[in-house]
Structure 1
Amino acid sequence: MLPDLTNDSIINFLTLRYDPTSAALLTPLNEESFAEEKFDNVQLKILEIVKEDLETKITQRKISRISIALSGGIDSGFTLLMAKNYLPELKVDSICVGFGDHDDEVSRAKEISRQYDCDFHEIYIDNVLEDLPKLISISEAPRWNLYQFYSLEKAKKYSDVFFSGDGGDEIFGGYVFRYKKFLDEVKKVDCPSWMDKSKIYLSCHDRDWVPDQEEIFNKRLNFSWDRVYENFKPYFDNVLHPINQVFLADFNGKLLHDWIPSNDKFGRHLNLEIHSLFLNPKMVSFSTKLPWWLKYDSKDDVGKLPLLTIMNAFRGFEDFRGIKKGFSLNLLNMWNRYGKDIVSSYLNTESDTVKDSVANGHWITKAISLASNSLDDNLKIRYISKLLSLFSFELWYRIFISCNLNPNVKL
């Protein structure tokens, strides 16, 4: 079902990368979800939940082969370790996505696969935009970061069951690159209101918006930052610790309204079951009741502490501290190699969204110039990211609204 094409939903997609007002496939969290409880042995409880989950989803159904999305990070590594630990005879195909960047995680993922007797499959994506019309038509959403489809498509060749690491960051505190900034900025404000925290939260997601965000839209959409901030009031207008408020916002935001809906649509399209050890309701309930400081060390800026403790007991992970990269690509390289040419051919003053008074053609011209010529690489990345969002919206618009773009066209 297509997202409602309201002014607010358009503004949300192009400012947050998702629309928090859309229906969620999983039950959202709330303030009560974070009522703390004491547990004698956190790691043991996690292992008990994982073991039961694997028995239900694999052993009892007599499944002999699964696929796993494997990067060099914590969530996918934890998933592989648990599968091989509790089901040593299980056949596992590990799938890693690379983009040709020098810091791709392929080499570490390949070594982990070798150590744990998995069949390793590498997917190299030369042009992440090539099949975007097709991926948008399947997901029915205006997003460009849909390249997880390739790992799911590959997985289907080997098994009907796929495990991702979705949810690990949100429930065990993996977005450490944002937590410290959030806490530091909140401390600077006397008695911060929910509005103050909402603004600070979005400032920690500055690659999702640009300094002249309001200029992206035609004036008839009546863009308002205050209406955007209102989306976050339920997460910050409560008595939770600021870190738990961030956990709440992260879970109910991108996870529920971006990652999960996209994977659900892709799974249905491929007839592939997609599971995550971290999205088991028992795991979600348990993790949110843990005191935040058992998950995130604010002094050393390290997250997912219980998962790291468990993983450090396994061969090959003794000194592992985790990295936060996942299947991501170098936007500057992508833009310079092919992104600018592809985006510019669809985003210009003759775009359907411009002609229909949704997007601002003057902003598009200015943004393409800044993305290409700014001396500030971070600013370049922000504008590239925003142009990609508007580009995906233009493709979505042409496929579902104007009905003048064939989803099978290659870019």
Structure 2
Amino acid sequence: MCGLLTMLTARGNATEYLAATEQALPCMRHRGPDAAGTWHDDDAIFGFNRLAIIDIEHSDQPLRWGPEDNPERYALTFNGEIYNYIELREELGELGYSFNTEGDGEPIVVGYHHWGADVVNHLRGMFGFAIWDSETKTMFAARDQFGIKPLFYATTQAGTVFASEMKCILEMAEDIGLDLSLDRRAIEHYVDLQYVPEPESLHANIRRVESGSTVTLRPGGEVISTRYFRPSFPIAAVAKGDEQQLFDKIATALEDSVEKHMRADVTVGSFLSGGIDSTAIAALAKRHNPDLLTFTTGFEREGYSEVDVAAESAAAIGVEHIVKIVSPEEYAAAIPKIMWYLDYPVADPSLVPLYFVAEEARKHVKVVLSGEGADELFGGYTIYKEPLSLAPFEKVPTPLRQGLGKLSRILPDGMKGKSLLDRGSQTMEERYYGNARSFNFEQMQRVIPWAQREWDHREVTAPIYAESQGFDPVARMQHLDLFTWMRGDILVKADKMNMANSLELRVPFLDKEVFKVAETIPHDLKIAHGTTKYALRKAMEQIVPAHVLNRKKLGFPVPMRHWLAGEELYGWAQDTINESQTEDIFNKPEVLEMLKEHRDGVSDHSRRLWTVLAFMIWHGIFVENRIDPNIEQRDYPVRL
């Protein structure tokens, strides 16, 4: 787990940008505090910060490799972990290739030499990497299929810069002539969805390599992107009596994934909340590490913590458990530095306790496992039951369905049946936009009057829905979440909050072999017997403690509604709004009025307020240069 910063110059003048690269590289020292280095030739500069996990004494990057006739043909920078690296080394060794290290990075570049761009389909792991082929003058970069690891890029007349963190590109902006204008379309998407959807960033000229994609470019050329991962959900009916075979396949795939994810030359721990996902991972990890440490977090406010359930789970599976309790004061004080680590705002309050539990875990281990991805792969969100409840509407003629929708709009709020009529009158493409829409259009216009309807969530979701024609309704919702909520929120906070603490997070559910089994599960074995993730629960019956098996997952729930209405965060929120220099973006009087309405109990605006507040803090750091992110004891550049 590391951070890469790579530049392919347009005119073969790499030495002119070497100092700028070296100046920007420390911006992400937290991603790799163990070693740092740069390499360059006439065309390319490769910079790297390393968090040493495998082959600790060797495998420093930038890594050079080549065949016998050109032993330094390639340069590699690689962020992530390849869990089948041992098998890849053996396979490529049998084909006659030799290696200079024992690490998991070298098989990527050797595999690229042998398989070309198809190397990504041989990799089992999480990655963002760049390879420079000095012979063909070609840069090749890629991200893992789910988007666990980030990769930003920006192109100017000077060339193209790739980086694991956007702040490195911001640091180089003046040197490479990069215009840092904000992207209003991306801002509206953020306010609508509470995250910035790929491939956008909040800066118009900085983009992201999309999950499951590769890019190629040559000096002075454009970035050409190719998607290599397209889920197919090849679902087949499971005959009654054969369900156990499927459950066994799930258990086998997940146990193998956890075993592979435990590969490391350092200590591996596990996060543990009160739900089945993290408990299953921790219980399986305990089989490979009898001294496993687990970690969780909670809050001082009673009723908002899974600490007690997590402790009960830890006792049941026999692991030592460590808890971090977060106060409202700690929470508010940490927000500026958390926004700095994030690169761009994600309006998910749970990322703050994730930062604190990662900080605590790093005192004990260098790697942790976690349960991200189980909901998207196995049907874990309650909303996935919706197609079953709305199935009768599918038989209603379209004009009548539209009429029911008009009727729902004139019914009083809170009237029984109003919501059902409203949802039933819409197609899935109209009603389902993922798990985190903060504002409807009318609410959005209240805070950003310049909002345009054609920029709403459907602009993001329509192309994804177009790819899922023919999938069953639950699979269509899962497919949408894989390319929106999961990679826009879940995996961003997982990567950034852990790497902020130089802690490597591994997610065994998001494994290509686990996905091969998960995508074949029929919807009646995802949503069954009044629960979600039914097949996963059955697969884990002999692994997960009984008190957790059918318990709803809460993750790290945050008492944000209460805090914003009370003395904990109301004053902080009011000051943040008043001091923010975002009048050209937000209608600040309306935002202040929303805060007052929330305090007075007129309406629960907590999610909407948090979306705006997170952006304002981010803007104060990266645009206004007004807020000090308070990065303690770090020798970071200050020109951001």
Query: What does the per-residue CA deviation read over 1:163-203, in whole Å, with 9 as the maximum and x for residues that have no partner?
Result: 11100111111111x23345545753646999832331149
CA gap of 1:370–1:181, structure 2 versus 1, over 3 A, is farther
* Equivalence for 2:453: 224
CA gap of 1:185–1:263, structure 2 versus 1, over 3 A, is same
Are residue 373 (structure 1) and residue 373 (structure 2) matched?
A: no
* Equivalence for 2:527: 296
CA contact (8 A) 1:66 1:92 kept: yes
Aligned partner letter, 1:15: D
Distance 2:436 2:502 in 1: 34
3-state SS in 2 of match to 1:131: helix
* Higher deviation after alignment, 234-243 or 323-332: 234-243
* Equivalence for 1:200: 431
Aligned partner letter, 1:341: G
Aligned partner letter, 1:241: D
CA gap of 1:312–1:102, structure 2 versus 1, over 3 A, is farther
**Pick aligned residue for 1:116 from 287, 305, 317:** 317
Equivalent residues in 2 for 1:315-334, closer than 5 Å: 316-317=545-546, 320-334=549-563
Equivalent residues in 2 for 1:140-219, closer than 5 Å: 140-144=343-347, 145=349, 146-147=351-352, 148-176=354-382, 178-181=383-386, 183-185=388-390, 187-188=392-393, 190=397, 196-202=427-433, 205=436, 207=438, 212-219=443-450
* Equivalence for 2:205: none
Distance 1:185 1:368 in 2: 35
CA contact (8 A) 1:33 1:289 kept: no
Distance 2:360 2:233 in 1: 37
3-state SS in 1 of match to 2:573: helix
* Higher deviation after alignment, 201-210 or 324-333: 201-210
Distance 2:355 2:561 in 1: 22
Are residue 57 (structure 1) and residue 288 (structure 2) matched?
A: no
CA contact (8 A) 1:161 1:274 kept: yes
Distance 1:365 1:32 in 2: 44
Distance 2:524 2:368 in 1: 31
1:37 CA displacement: 4.4
3-state SS in 1 of match to 2:555: coil
Are residue 311 (structure 1) and residue 540 (structure 2) matched?
A: yes
3-state SS in 1 of match to 2:322: strand
**Pick aligned residue for 1:73 from 272, 275, 282:** 275
1:74 CA displacement: 1.2
CA contact (8 A) 2:189 2:456 kept: no
Distance 2:620 2:183 in 1: 16
* Equivalence for 2:13: none
* Equivalence for 2:72: none
Distance 1:251 1:95 in 2: 26
1:25 CA displacement: 6.3
**Pick aligned residue for 2:515 from 267, 272, 284:** 284
* Higher deviation after alignment, 257-266 or 222-231: 222-231
* Equivalence for 1:19: 196
3-state SS in 1 of match to 2:532: coil
**Identity rate, percent:** 20
More strand by proportion, 1 or 2? 2
* Equivalence for 1:90: 290
* Higher deviation after alignment, 21-30 or 271-280: 21-30
Query: What does the per-residue CA deviation read over 1:244-285, in whole Å, with 9 as the maximum and x for residues that have no partner?
Result: 111111121111111212322334333322111111121123
Aligned partner letter, 2:460: N
3-state SS in 1 of match to 2:259: helix
Distance 2:544 2:503 in 1: 31
Aligned partner letter, 1:358: I
Query: What does the per-residue CA deviation read over 1:224-245, in whole Å, with 9 as the maximum and x for residues that have no partner?
Result: 2664212111343422222111
Distance 2:295 2:548 in 1: 23
Distance 2:439 2:233 in 1: 27
Distance 1:217 1:315 in 2: 47
* Equivalence for 2:340: 137
1:399 CA displacement: 0.4
**Pick aligned residue for 1:344 from 574, 583, 586:** 574
CA RMSD of aligned residues (A): 3.0
Distance 1:291 1:264 in 2: 31
* Equivalence for 2:182: 5
CA gap of 1:73–1:232, structure 2 versus 1, over 3 A, is same
Distance 1:264 1:25 in 2: 15
Distance 1:252 1:203 in 2: 9
Distance 2:374 2:362 in 1: 23
3-state SS in 1 of match to 2:302: coil
CA gap of 1:9–1:315, structure 2 versus 1, over 3 A, is closer
Distance 1:254 1:24 in 2: 17
* Higher deviation after alignment, 312-321 or 158-167: 312-321
CA gap of 1:271–1:205, structure 2 versus 1, over 3 A, is closer
CA gap of 1:318–1:133, structure 2 versus 1, over 3 A, is closer
Aligned partner letter, 1:100: E
Distance 1:182 1:351 in 2: 42
Which of structures 1 and 2 has the larger relative contact order (alpha carbons within 8 angstroms, sep 6+)?
A: 1
1:315 CA displacement: 6.8
**Pick aligned residue for 1:384 from 591, 606, 628:** 606
Name which one, 1 or 2, has greater alpha-carbon Rg. 2
CA gap of 1:229–1:290, structure 2 versus 1, over 3 A, is same
More helix by proportion, 1 or 2? 1
Aligned partner letter, 2:359: E
Distance 2:574 2:441 in 1: 18
Are residue 396 (structure 1) and residue 595 (structure 2) matched?
A: no
CA gap of 1:92–1:57, structure 2 versus 1, over 3 A, is same
